[in-house]
Amino acid sequence: MSTQLNGKRVAFLVTDGFEQVELTGPRDALQQQGATVEILGEEKGTVRGWNHDEPADEFPVDATFDSVQADRYDAIVLPGGVQNSDTIRLIPGAQKLVKSLSAAGKPLAVICHGGWLLVSCDLVKGKRMTSFKTLQDDIRNAGGNWVDEQVVVDGNLISSRQPDDIPAFNEALIKALAG
């Protein structure tokens, strides 16, 4: 295990229906580099991942969106999954955390449908980013510059398209956190 990210704390914001590998892949890579990872949800208890369109595993929620302060974290990761992403984008506590970390210039890492929360927070205007292809109109309509690339880094925003891109996504996220 590397200690490159010792002392770094990363929040994964999810609701039920997140794409499981988009949480476990980045989480495992961050932990292998020494980062502390917390899963944040709207409520205490557990959240259920999905493997595309099938229910998968449950994960314990470490804290709720409303119970933590944004300055506790060095980055936020937003896994995709249509159900998760469509739900979380309307939750005020999740929006507040994302806006706070963005204002502080800390990394916001989104994959697949995770970019919907950034659209709802009005954080994509003027940003170059990628996502799952079905979000391209939403991103463009919100003033973003959508591109079809494996991973895109624009300032503090790291975005990726889909599970196949997780290795490149992880590399960009670890590089941003390592400074």
Catalytic one among 89, 106, 113, 127? 113
Instruction: Select from 29, 113, 165 the least CA-distant residue to 10.
Output: 29
C-alpha to C-alpha distance for 123 and 139, rounded to whole angstroms: 10
C-alpha to C-alpha distance for 69 and 32, rounded to whole angstroms: 25
Residue type, 159: S
Q: Residue 179: count other Cβ atoms within 10 Å of its Cβ.
A: 7
52 is catalytic: no
112 is catalytic: yes
Catalytic one among 109, 111, 112, 158? 112
Residue type, 111: I
Give the active site residues: 112-113
